[in-house]
Amino acid sequence: MVLPCVGLLLVFAYWPVVRGVVLSLYGNDLLGDPTRFVGLDQYAELFTDPELRRALLTTVVIAGLSVLLSVGGALAAVLPLRRAARRPRAVVSVLLSMPFAYSAAASAAVFAGLFAPAVGTLNQVLAHLGVTGPEWLRSPEWAILSVSIATAWYEFGFAFLVLLAAMTQLDQHVIEAAALDGASGPRLARSVIIPMLRPSLIFLLVTQTISGLQVFTQVQVLTRGGPADATSTLVFELYQRAFGEALPHVGSASALAVVLLLLVLLITAIQFRVLRRWA
Amino acid sequence: MTRRHAASLLRWLWLGAVVVVVAFPVYATVVTALLPPTDVAAGRLVPRPDRLTLDNVRTVLGTAPLAQQYLVSVAVTALQAAAQLTTAALAAYALVFPRWRGRGVAFALVLATLAFPGESLVIPNFQLVSGLGLRDTVLGIVIPYLAAGYAVFLLRQAFLALPREVWEAARMDGCGDLRALVLVVLPMARPQLVTAAMWCALSAWNGYFWPLLITDSPQRRTIQVGLAQLVVDQVTAPAVIYAGTLLVLLPTLLLVLFGQRFLVRGLAARVTT
């Protein structure tokens, strides 16, 4: 009975890993077919090819910024909610969990409307307030920030739901005891509540970092990697090389896929070690 | 007393600011989607009842084959979620109830796939599915995702919490494995089954990267891919983009509003393991 599931996973998850490693060792021949054995050359490109180095750096920046904004933002929203009265708390919780309903494509589409050049809703609203908004998607620096903001907003809903659930399950006796001992406000949050939320925070940092490394949809919908490749990420490069060009480079795209897999497995392994040390 | 009031006021000001920032894109999708496109393009976002209109929705349906794409997405979601639940229920049953050699290995094999980023598998899967002649079909969209580690994980946890004696009694009465699963185990695990079904449906509906790669013709793409194309076509009309987003969002918004209890249960299971 376990066969259908394991069989499918072997074919569509394990075999592609093996096949991807093999493909990554081959480069295009003169006809554009991936038949020329090149060994690890396409991995070395990750360090030598300026385009790839930049994509790697951009990925880390976007992942880092969006994790910081989404997890930090969710924590900053959940902490003050703890002492709010029941009904307003329920209303705020529903409003703040809304981003979770959006798919990556839906959230990216909304931000495309908000950030659009000339008629973008955000700059129109800012104009009413007498502020001239930036060119969200047209300058390289702002574009990276815009993609990070859109990604962070998309991740925020998930982070908020996780922390909210963790918060409602906290042991109230411990918090009350700490409050009786005179801890209050920021001090209570810092030395009692945040440590109690630590398992959820670790879980979020890990899962959000991993999904940050895979960011693609926001890039593809908002900027197509531009302007001038400023927002091209690891997965966007993979997409371009394997599917986006007239002459596909399946080999070098596969090397990127293997690198992504190794990065994610590495982070997962670290997570397990850290959690085990605490247990 | 006044200090406490001041603290409470500060807290609500802060929460208000967070709500404004987080909810603004939602407001754009849900409310401004129903305003005249010229109003939205000029940044007039306050809804006046006499100005509400379905014009943007009409434009969306007129410019893109969104109705067909909706059907594709519904078919993909139904097929994929049903298949994932079926394969996961069978696997979880075999991993929990009968005792056999190699079941630890089988579970490890399934669980490890949770750590595989989907993007790193697409190139070989694209070659394989294209080779099967399934490019540009609904079956091609769902075939790599007929089994999902997360569903197995959720159902296995649910089954482990069930009283084993009930299953043993059913087996003593001559109940086969399949009957035991369908008639005894699944009814007892109904809430977790709903949780797993919701997560499977959510991820199927929301999929983007793979459906983008494996489909070519506009009327065979999923609604998510269609929406991304709409963004390209309507970049000068944010109101139309919002209306399209609203259509894509509607089912999952309802799921999150009314099924949150079930979804959160799935989250909790992941955090604590």
Q: Is residue B203 part of a domain?
A: yes
Q: Do B43 and B79 fall within a single domain?
A: no
Q: Do B7 and B99 fall within a single domain?
A: no
Cβ pair A119, B237 in contact under 8 A: yes
Res A279: pLDDT: 60
As a whole number, the mean pLDDT across chain A is: 90
According to DSSP, the residues that pair with A28 across neighbouring strands are A34
Q: In this complex, is the C-beta atom of B125 within 8 Å of any C-beta atom belonging to chain A?
A: yes
Q: Do B112 and B32 fall within a single domain?
A: no
Long-range contact pairs involving B5-13 (C-beta distance under 8 Å, separation at least 24): B7/A185, B11/A80, B11/A83, B11/A84, B12/A84
Model confidence pLDDT, tens digit, residues B189-226: 999 999 999 999 999 999 999 999 999 999 999 999 99
Q: In this complex, is the C-beta atom of A244 within 8 Å of any C-beta atom belonging to chain B?
A: no
pLDDT at B23 over 90: yes
Classify burial at A10, counting beta carbons within 10 Å of its beta carbon; exposed 0-12, middle 13-18, buried 19 or more: middle
Model confidence pLDDT, tens digit, residues A55-75: 999 999 999 999 999 999 999
Q: In this complex, is the C-beta atom of B139 within 8 Å of any C-beta atom belonging to chain A?
A: no
State residue B220 phi and psi, 5-degree precision: -105, 5
Q: Is residue B252 part of a domain?
A: no
Res A131: pLDDT: 87
Q: Do B90 and B41 fall within a single domain?
A: no
**pLDDT band at residue B1 under the 50/70/90 scheme:** low
User: What average pLDDT does the segment A42-50 reach?
Assistant: 89
Of A13, A101, A116, the CB nearest to B249: A101
Residues 158-177 on B with a CB inside 8 Å of A are: 177
Q: Helices marked H in chain B — which ranges?
A: 2-30, 37-41, 55-63, 66-96, 103-112, 122-131, 138-142, 149-160, 164-172, 177-179, 186-188, 190-206, 209-214, 223-233, 238-271
pLDDT at B273 over 60: no
Q: In this complex, is the C-beta atom of B256 within 8 Å of any C-beta atom belonging to chain A?
A: yes
Q: Is residue B248 part of a domain?
A: no
Domain extent, residue B36, equals 2-59
Q: In this complex, is the C-beta atom of A279 within 8 Å of any C-beta atom belonging to chain B?
A: no
- CB atoms A17 and B121 under 8 Å: yes
Q: Do B117 and B227 fall within a single domain?
A: yes
Q: Do B147 and B17 fall within a single domain?
A: no
Instruction: Say what percent of chain B tops pLDDT 70.
Output: 99
What is the rounded CA–CA span in Å between residue B53 and residue B57?
9
Number of domains in chain B: 2
- CB atoms A260 and B119 under 8 Å: yes
Q: In terms of pLDDT, which residue wins out, B39 or A213?
A: A213
According to DSSP, the residues that pair with A27 across neighbouring strands are A36
Q: Which of B120, B122, B222, B225 to mutate to test the interface with A (most CBs of A within 10 A)?
A: B120
User: What average pLDDT does the segment A252-272 reach?
Assistant: 93
Q: Do B54 and B85 fall within a single domain?
A: no
Instruction: Say what percent of chain B tops pLDDT 90.
Output: 70
Model confidence pLDDT, tens digit, residues B119-151: 999 999 999 999 999 999 999 999 999 999 999
- Measure Cα distances from A220 to A30, B121, B123 in Å: 30, 19, 18
Model confidence pLDDT, tens digit, residues A91-110: 999 999 999 999 999 999 99
Q: In this complex, is the C-beta atom of A101 within 8 Å of any C-beta atom belonging to chain B?
A: yes
Res B130: pLDDT: 95
pLDDT at B52 over 90: no
Q: Do B45 and B151 fall within a single domain?
A: no
Q: Do B145 and B217 fall within a single domain?
A: yes
Q: Which of B143, B213, B231 to mutate to test the interface with A (most CBs of A within 10 A)?
A: B231
Q: In this complex, is the C-beta atom of A149 within 8 Å of any C-beta atom belonging to chain B?
A: no
Q: Helices marked H in chain A — which ranges?
A: 3-9, 15-23, 41-48, 50-81, 86-97, 104-115, 121-128, 140-168, 172-180, 185-188, 194-196, 198-213, 217-222, 234-239, 250-278
pLDDT at A112 over 60: yes
Q: In this complex, is the C-beta atom of A21 within 8 Å of any C-beta atom belonging to chain B?
A: no
Q: Do B50 and B75 fall within a single domain?
A: no
Q: Which of B18, B232, B240 to mutate to test the interface with A (most CBs of A within 10 A)?
A: B18
Of A116, A153, A254, the CB nearest to B238: A116
Rg of chain B on CA atoms, in Å: 23
List of residues 6+ apart from A202 with CB closer than 8 A: A271, A274, A275
- CB atoms B22 and A96 under 8 Å: yes
Sign of CA dihedral B254, B258, B263, B264: positive
C-beta neighbour count of A50 within 10 angstroms: 8
Of A4, A11, A110, the CB nearest to B90: A4
pLDDT at B270 over 80: no
Model confidence pLDDT, tens digit, residues A173-205: 888 888 888 777 777 888 888 888 988 899 899
Q: Which of chain A's residues have a Cβ under 8 Å away from the Cβ of B105? A: none
Q: In this complex, is the C-beta atom of B67 within 8 Å of any C-beta atom belonging to chain A?
A: no
Instruction: Supply the ipTM of this predicted assembly.
Output: 0.91
According to DSSP, the residues that pair with A37 across neighbouring strands are A26
Q: In this complex, is the C-beta atom of A104 within 8 Å of any C-beta atom belonging to chain B?
A: yes
Tokens 């922390």 sit at which residue? A163
pLDDT at B45 over 70: yes
Q: Is residue B9 part of a domain?
A: yes
User: What average pLDDT does the segment A128-153 reach?
Assistant: 92
Q: Is residue B264 part of a domain?
A: no
Q: In this complex, is the C-beta atom of A93 within 8 Å of any C-beta atom belonging to chain B?
A: no
Cβ pair B167, B97 in contact under 8 A: yes
Q: In this complex, is the C-beta atom of A172 within 8 Å of any C-beta atom belonging to chain B?
A: no
Of B106, B143, B267, the CB nearest to A162: B267
Question: Is the model's pTM score more than 0.90?
Answer: yes
Q: Which of chain A's residues have a Cβ under 8 Å away from the Cβ of B26? A: 95, 98-99
Q: Which of chain A's residues have a Cβ under 8 Å away from the Cβ of B270? A: 203
pLDDT at B4 over 80: no
Q: In this complex, is the C-beta atom of B97 within 8 Å of any C-beta atom belonging to chain A?
A: no
CATH, residue B155: 1.10.3720.10
**pLDDT band at residue B32 under the 50/70/90 scheme:** confident
User: What average pLDDT does the segment B44-66 reach?
Assistant: 84
Model confidence pLDDT, tens digit, residues B67-87: 899 999 999 999 999 999 999
* Domains of chain A as residue ranges with CATH: 9-278 (1.10.3720.10)
Q: Which of chain A's residues have a Cβ under 8 Å away from the Cβ of B43? A: 121, 123-125, 127-128
- CB atoms A165 and B121 under 8 Å: no
